[in-house]
């Protein structure tokens, strides 16, 4: 069976392509490389000893999508392509709505023309805004987002639900990721931010390797056990495996199915720093800074629905996340640019 993976050269996409190939799917990737490198796909092929068909192009390009659906007998789509910087989305909302919302509409239209009706979508815990209660369940209110990135994910969720309600042929799995971290155990693929990282783990690991001086901890006066923000960090390989479970669910289910993909455990910023120091045997210098605008105190998932309906649970713990992130960082101090 052939799966089209949009954004397959990116962080989560490349890890998912590895698992798909190792499960004997044929994989076609479309990626415009706006936030990734083709080197990631070369390494995916090295890890798996299998080949990927790669199209460098944009999901906004309907002609390219049509030609891919014509050339390949695509069974389903796993849709990662999108822009993901919360900060950038606040200053460039148009870019985010065009890429994430219009891009998805384009993809859905091409699927419709090609008669392909199964899609797994990368949504985000961001759609919950500030959760009213924890752990967060899928039925919690969504849409109270505080930035265009999160709103773009919420809008796509609504579009998918409306399509699913309009015609039972559509089969969608909407996966709400919590905080993906870590890397493949080979150390060959991992997260490779273009610029100074926005997210905690890449920042910590670049301090540990000596590329950045000091981590700013954004606030130590939250209503959390140690005052710093608490999140549900999930190993990227567990996340990738969730996509395979979702694809298999779509073989027999229709509609718009929503699942949290998280571990159910929350860790604070300071706990993450400590755990990384243990895994890397390096010191991570940090200083307390003011809160980052838009941040929430705590977010962690109730992952029971994915367990019950998909048979999926996150199996890798905090130590695996840290050891694997450090292996990737220390073997590739400059990410794919080292190649
Ligand atoms: P990433 O930036 O590493 O991967 C996204 C990929 O999509 C990149 O390779 C990029 O070049 C490609 N891309 C972007 N716009 C495109 C377009 N118009 N056409 C073709 N390719 C395009 O990000 P990631 O961390 O792997 O995230 C994958 C998906 O998961 C994104 O949709 C993101 O919003 C979502 N997500 C990520 C996180 C996270 O913390 N990493 C959390 C929740 C949801
Ligand atoms: C985690 C914790 C920060 C950096 C964002 C998006 C979300 C999802 C994942 C895509 C918080 C603290 C961080 C730093 C710090 N992405 N922190 N110093 O904010 O939970 O989620 O990325 O969908 O949508 O909103 O993740 O890694 O940025 O922050 O103290 O330099 O680390 O305040 O408590 P976040 P994060």
Residue 124 Cβ inside 6 Å of ligand 1? The answer reads yes
The complex's ipTM works out to 0.99
Residue 11 Cβ inside 6 Å of ligand 1? The answer reads yes
Please tell me the predicted confidence (pLDDT) of residue 339: 73
DSSP state of 276: H
Q: Are 107 and 77 in contact (CB under 8 A)?
A: yes
In whole angstroms, give the CA distance from residue 321 to residue 297: 22
Q: Are 244 and 20 in contact (CB under 8 A)?
A: yes
Average pLDDT of every residue of the chain: 97
Which two three-digit tokens encode residue 270? Answer: 């300071």
Please state whether 294 falls in left (phi above 0), alpha (psi between -120 and 50) or beta.
left
Q: What is the CA radius of gyration of the chain?
A: 19
Q: Are 142 and 85 in contact (CB under 8 A)?
A: no
Nearest residue CA, atom 26 of ligand 2? 199
Residue 31 Cβ inside 6 Å of ligand 1? The answer reads yes
For residue 174, which ligand has an atom nearest its CA? 1
For residue 122, which ligand has an atom nearest its CA? 1
3-state class percentages of the chain: helix first, strand second, coil last, to nearest 5 = 45, 20, 40
Residue 238 Cβ inside 6 Å of ligand 1? The answer reads no
pTM exceeds cut of 0.90: yes
In whole angstroms, give the CA distance from residue 328 to residue 324: 6
62 CA to centre of ligand 2 in angstroms: 33
289 CA to centre of ligand 2 in angstroms: 14
- Percent over 70 (pLDDT), the chain: 100
Which residues participate in catalysis according to the annotation? 149
Count of CB atoms situated within 10 Å of the CB of 325: 26
Q: pLDDT tens-digit profile of 109-160? A: 999 999 999 999 999 999 999 999 999 999 999 999 989 999 999 999 999 9
281 CA to centre of ligand 1 in angstroms: 31
Strand partners, 305: none
Could you tell which of 292, 298, 325 is best to mutate to test the pocket of ligand 2, judged by most ligand atoms within 8 Å of the CB? 292
Residue 150 Cβ inside 6 Å of ligand 1? The answer reads no
For residue 200, which ligand has an atom nearest its CA? 2
Count of CB atoms situated within 10 Å of the CB of 113: 13
Element (H, E) at 159: helix 148-166
Q: What is the pLDDT along the chain (339 residues), one digit of tens a residue?
A: 999 999 999 999 999 999 999 999 999 999 999 999 999 999 999 999 999 999 999 999 999 999 999 999 999 999 999 999 999 999 999 999 999 999 999 999 999 999 999 999 999 999 999 999 999 999 999 999 989 999 999 999 999 999 999 999 999 999 999 999 999 999 999 999 989 999 999 999 999 999 999 999 999 999 999 999 999 999 999 999 999 999 999 999 989 999 999 999 999 999 999 999 999 999 999 999 999 999 999 999 999 999 999 999 999 999 999 999 999 999 999 999 977
């Amino acid at each position: 069976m052939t799966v089209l993976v949009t954004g397959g050269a990116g962080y989560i996409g490349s890890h998912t392509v590895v698992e798909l190939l190792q499960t004997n799917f044929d994989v076609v990737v479309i990626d415009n490389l706006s936030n990734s490198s083709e080197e990631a796909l070369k390494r995916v092929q090295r890890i798996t000893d299998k080949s990927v068909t790669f199209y460098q192009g944009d999901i906004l390009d309907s002609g390219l999508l049509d030609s891919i659906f014509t050339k390949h007998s695509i069974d389903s789509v796993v849709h990662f392509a999108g822009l993901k910087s919360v900060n950038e989305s606040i200053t460039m909302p148009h870019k985010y709505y065009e890429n994430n919302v219009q891009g998805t509409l384009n993809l859905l239209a091409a699927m419709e023309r090609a008669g392909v009706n199964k899609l797994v979508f990368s949504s985000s815990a961001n759609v919950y805004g500030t959760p009213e209660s924890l752990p967060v369940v899928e039925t919690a209110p969504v849409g109270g987002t505080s930035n265009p990135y999160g709103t773009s994910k919420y809008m796509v969720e609504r579009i998918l639900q409306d399509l699913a309600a309009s015609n039972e042929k559509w089969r969608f799995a909407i996966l709400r990721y919590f905080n993906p971290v870590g890397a493949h155990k080979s150390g060959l693929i991992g997260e490779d931010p273009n610029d100074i990282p926005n997210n905690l783990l890449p920042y910590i690991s670049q301090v540990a390797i000596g590329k950045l001086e000091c981590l700013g901890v954004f606030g130590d006066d939250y209503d959390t056990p140690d005052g710093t923000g608490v999140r549900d960090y999930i190993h990227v390989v567990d996340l990738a495996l969730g996509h395979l479970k979702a694809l298999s669910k779509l073989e027999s289910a229709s509609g718009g199915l929503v699942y949290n993909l998280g571990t159910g455990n929350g860790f604070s910023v300071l706990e993450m720093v400590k755990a990384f120091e243990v895994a890397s045997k390096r010191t991570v210098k940090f200083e307390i800074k003011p809160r980052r605008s838009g941040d929430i105190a705590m977010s962690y998932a109730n992952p029971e629905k994915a367990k019950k309906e998909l048979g999926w649970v996150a199996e890798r713990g905090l130590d695996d996340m840290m050891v694997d992130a450090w292996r990737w960082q220390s073997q590739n101090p400059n990410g794919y640019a080292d190649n």
